[in-house]
Amino acid sequence: LGIIFFAIFFREPPKIQTKEKK
């Protein structure tokens, strides 16, 4: 699960990353 989440995070733009991180 962690690997998949990381892959999506890297694939998706930084905008989504910040939203998910928050």
Hey, what are 10's tokens?
Answer: 């890297």
pLDDT of residue 1: 64
Task: Please state whether the predicted TM-score (pTM) of the whole model is above 0.85.
Answer: no
pLDDT of residue 13: 61
Hey, what are 1's tokens?
Answer: 């699960």
Secondary structure percentages of the chain, helix, strand, coil, to 5: 80, 0, 20
CA distance 7 to 5: 5
pLDDT in tens, 6-17: 877 777 665 655
CA distance 1 to 14: 20
Rg for the chain, CA atoms, rounded? 8
CA distance 5 to 18: 14
